[in-house]
Amino acid sequence: MKLIPKSVAEMVAVGLLPYPVKSIEEHKGGLINHTFKIVTKNDSDPNFLLQKVNSYIFKDVDLLQSNIRIVTDYIRNELDKQSLPNLNRRVLSPGCILSNGECKSYYWDHDCDYWRLYEYIEDSKTYNSIPNNDMAFKGGVTLASFHKTLLGFPKDKLPDIIPNFHNLKKRIESLMVKIKDDKFGRVTNAKKEIEFINDNIDEYVKLHEILTSTNIPKRVIHQDPKFNNILFDLNDNPLCMVDLDTVMVGHLYSDIGDAIRTGANSTVEDNPDLNQTNFIFEIYQSYINGYLSIAKDFITLNELHSIYISPLIMTYEQSIRFLSDYINGDKYYKYKTEYPDHNLVRAKNQIRLFEQMVLNREKLKDTVIKFDPSFF
Ligand SMILES: Nc1ncnc2c1ncn2[C@@H]1O[C@H](COP(=O)(O)OP(=O)(O)O)[C@@H](O)[C@H]1O
Ligand SMILES: [Mg+2]
């Protein structure tokens, strides 16, 4: 196990955590932040999840923390109106860090890194991949319930924490700049992947324009709904969605597409053996069935007709993001890049997944169309 960073030990030593601490261990999940579980000494005190915020991605930590606070408060209030029990297990509870006698939502250490706390939700687990169709259905239900709970959230109160997060055109432009600069001399290693991106630009930029056109509503969405951002209890009942850093106003297609991209891959995102990367259609089908079993109450016909294309768009976008980060020297995924070609391997894996999805395109559509009332 890696050593606990000095700043974590430092935080504990100067008493910035609200309770006496028994132990700190690194939490392996997640791709963005650096996460630790803090076990407190007294059984009556909650345990905590301590996270170092990836400050390359999240430049405005005040805004980040404030967005998370207003979203979690809103969800708690909505669930409370439904008189649901155990609210602290159904929504994240941001914790308090003590600084000069004040309760703050984050701590800035001597290395200019930011730290924040959540109450640890006990007896919970996440899955890095979707274990079976039944769990895929539950995943879809959980994401749709998250969207449904936030339907009434005042969208103007939620500034973009990462502007243009799913702006495909901008992602492509940014990739082209990085290719031109080639600061790390990596472009020659990625010739084939760059060619793949170029070959598909016209079609996918056009599709993206349709999916974000004015007749598609904007909604408050999660923006990183991978399966390991759903917390389940020990009996596999969904508890809540975690990792709310990127909750922003956007379009449903991106959440659904990203959930499928990450959930219907037959292998891990960084498997270098591309023959093991296949698209599991049945996972897509179950997830969509679960999603639409709830979302049929609020999804518009235009949204419904567009979402079958969303896994393709999001997988294409993610190929661009991994490729960009590889060419740019692994800045975005810096905490989870373990060897020099890691992000190139991830990009190759996404491209292969995309190609497998293309083979299933008609079936993707059929699954969704069944939910159109005029289909009958
Ligand atoms: N409040 C919580 N209680 C228990 N486990 C949690 C909690 N929040 C997150 N986790 C676990 O920690 C992992 C990493 O946290 P997450 O916020 O998703 O970080 P990242 O942005 O790096 O993905 C999650 O996948 C989940 O397993
Ligand atoms: Mg996560």
Write out pLDDT tens, residues 212-268: 999 999 999 999 999 999 999 999 999 999 999 999 999 999 999 999 999 999 999
Q: Is the pLDDT of residue 162 over 60?
A: yes
**243 alpha carbon to ligand 1 midpoint, in Å?**
6
Query: In sequence order, what are the residues at sequence separation of 6 or more whose Cβ sits closer than 8 angstroms to the Cβ of residue 123?
Result: 233, 234
Candidates 231, 234, 258: which one to mutate for ligand 1, based on the most atoms within 8 Å of Cβ? 231
Place of tokens 């439904």: 82
Rounded CA gap, 363 and 284, in Å? Answer: 10
Which ligand has the minimum distance to the alpha carbon of residue 230? Answer: 1
What is the mean pLDDT of the segment spanning 125-150? 97
**222 alpha carbon to ligand 2 midpoint, in Å?**
11
Candidates 227, 234, 240, 243: which one to mutate for ligand 1, based on the most atoms within 8 Å of Cβ? 243
**34 alpha carbon to ligand 2 midpoint, in Å?**
10
**88 alpha carbon to ligand 1 midpoint, in Å?**
15
Does the C-beta of 30 come closer than 6 Å to ligand 1?
Answer: yes
Candidates 121, 242, 245: which one to mutate for ligand 1, based on the most atoms within 8 Å of Cβ? 242
Residue 361 in tokens: 């395109």
Query: In sequence order, what are the residues at sequence separation of 6 or more whose Cβ sits closer than 8 angstroms to the Cβ of residue 270?
Result: 342, 345, 346, 349
| pTM for the model | 0.92
pLDDT digits (tens, 9 = 90+) for 64-113: 999 999 999 999 999 999 999 999 999 999 988 877 677 888 887 767 77
State residue 67's pLDDT score.
96
What is the mean pLDDT of the segment spanning 190-195? 98
Q: Whose CA is nearest to atom 10 of ligand 1?
A: 242
Does the C-beta of 242 come closer than 6 Å to ligand 1?
Answer: yes
Does the C-beta of 88 come closer than 6 Å to ligand 1?
Answer: no
pLDDT digits (tens, 9 = 90+) for 265-313: 999 999 999 999 999 999 999 999 999 999 999 999 999 988 999 999 9
**231 alpha carbon to ligand 1 midpoint, in Å?**
8
Rounded CA gap, 220 and 370, in Å? Answer: 26
Q: What atom of ligand 1 comes closest to residue 32's alpha carbon?
A: 22
State residue 1's pLDDT score.
44
Query: In sequence order, what are the residues at sequence separation of 6 or more whose Cβ sits closer than 8 angstroms to the Cβ of residue 139?
Result: 130, 227, 230, 238, 259, 263, 287, 290
Rounded CA gap, 280 and 195, in Å? Answer: 26
Model confidence at 32, pLDDT cuts 50, 70, 90, reads low
State residue 139's pLDDT score.
98
State residue 119's pLDDT score.
95
pLDDT digits (tens, 9 = 90+) for 206-217: 999 999 999 999
Which ligand has the minimum distance to the alpha carbon of residue 245? Answer: 1
State residue 313's pLDDT score.
97
State residue 26's pLDDT score.
84
Percent with pLDDT over 90 in the chain: 73
Does the C-beta of 227 come closer than 6 Å to ligand 1?
Answer: no
State residue 9's pLDDT score.
66
Q: Is the pLDDT of residue 376 over 70?
A: no
Does the C-beta of 262 come closer than 6 Å to ligand 1?
Answer: no
If one compares 30 and 315, the residue with the highest pLDDT of the two is 315
State residue 370's pLDDT score.
84
Q: What atom of ligand 1 comes closest to residue 126's alpha carbon?
A: 27
State residue 175's pLDDT score.
98
Does the C-beta of 92 come closer than 6 Å to ligand 1?
Answer: yes
**Domains recognised in the chain with CATH numbers:** 6-122 (3.30.200), 133-375 (3.90.1200.10)
Model confidence at 186, pLDDT cuts 50, 70, 90, reads very high
Model confidence at 4, pLDDT cuts 50, 70, 90, reads low
% helix / strand / coil in the chain, to the nearest 5?
A: 50, 15, 35
Which residues in 209-243 are b (16+ Cβ under 10 Å) and which e?
A: eebbeeebeebbbbbbbbbbbbbbeeeeebbbbbb
Q: Is the pLDDT of residue 148 over 70?
A: yes
**29 alpha carbon to ligand 2 midpoint, in Å?**
7
Do 290 and 349 meet the contact criterion of CB atoms below 8 Å apart?
A: no
Which ligand has the minimum distance to the alpha carbon of residue 125? Answer: 1
State residue 98's pLDDT score.
76
What is the mean pLDDT of the segment spanning 43-64? 88
